Chain A
């Protein structure tokens, strides 16, 4: 390991965009190694600690989920600006994932199905569509994160296996080559 490649207690941030929080669950799935993790890194903005805004420059940003609305894009750009390294974790961040099943369906049709025509829509008698200014705008389709900003590393899986996330973090922090046994790379 080269000394200059080793980070001094790196700062880590995470976010979930158009994802299901499964990738974050997989981060927690490193089990007791979570104790090692808090020795190895300092957490900044993340849903895990509920820090809402960056309070310092971050070394590693972990992105779960792709971009399906304007808020996702804004947060992703906010992460890119504040993190030295960005990692897309999970199928949604990498290729849109299940939310991207709507790509190819016109947005009007999606909204109509969700709020007016869908078989489970029963209470919306006045056919109101979400129209509050506070609500983020849906994008025309779901975008993989690397189509919006530069992403440095990708960890596939739905969710990525805890070992894959752990191996990647350890490699980044220590500067050692990443362990990639066959069984940790999966697309489901």
Chain B
């Protein structure tokens, strides 16, 4: 029992193992906090900020903050929900997200959060940045128009020698996540499948696999992302 801590999310009493991150602890207690860059089994990085919550008046990323005894977490208040929605909207306007022609549509986590937060139109102006599509690998397409730079591919897609197939390139506004040209040519079928699966959006697409599932049969066609709010 000494390993358990008590804390509150929006006033609801919760319990979880000491040291567990707030997103995971919340889920164990039936409370959903949205995430995008976070992935089970991968060290969290707090990159996308979608999981922001308020603790002691400060906004924190709940994927990188461990729960502690007596902690009071504010998660589903109107302003935090709106902040999350604004972050999602920013991702839509800062890339080129043409969902009707995207192979990931229906299975995309960003789009699914747009649905969950009822994004009818982003409040920001569309940027329409000029971005490249790299189709040099025989197995995958890396589409920069849709990359949200979550690093999930960098962290999880590695060859037998442990080398990451994806890497950051350039800096600041020009920052991109690119596919290593040599390793990309040699990517195995399994790794290519995994890369597409681990990318939350449609930035890594398996060649000759687009639009496999009919509309109505895809992951988020009928079911919202995450679990129902209690």
Contacts and interface: CB of A to CB of B under 8 A. Distances in A.
A183 B215 CA distance: 12
A185 interface: yes
Interface residues of B, number: 28
Contact of A146 (B92, B98, B121): B121
Interface string A138-181: 00010010110000011110100000000000000000000010
B1 interface: no
Interface in B98-136: 98-102, 105-106, 111, 114-115, 118-122, 125-126, 128-131
B94 to A, nearest CB: 13
A147 B126 CA distance: 9
A185 B118 contact: yes
B128 A187 contact: no
B224 interface: yes
B99 A187 contact: yes
A65 interface: no
Q: Looking at chain A, what size class is its interface with the partner chain?
A: 20 to 34
A101 B98 contact: yes
Interface stretch (A51-59, A69-77, A91-99): A91-99
A88 B100 contact: no
Nearest to A105: B130
A188 B118 contact: no
Interface of B: 92, 96-102, 105-106, 111, 114-115, 118-122, 125-126, 128-131, 215, 221-222, 224
12 contacts: A91-B98, A98-B100, A101-B98, A104-B96, A158-B99, A180-B118, A183-B221, A185-B119, A188-B100, A188-B102, A188-B106, A188-B215
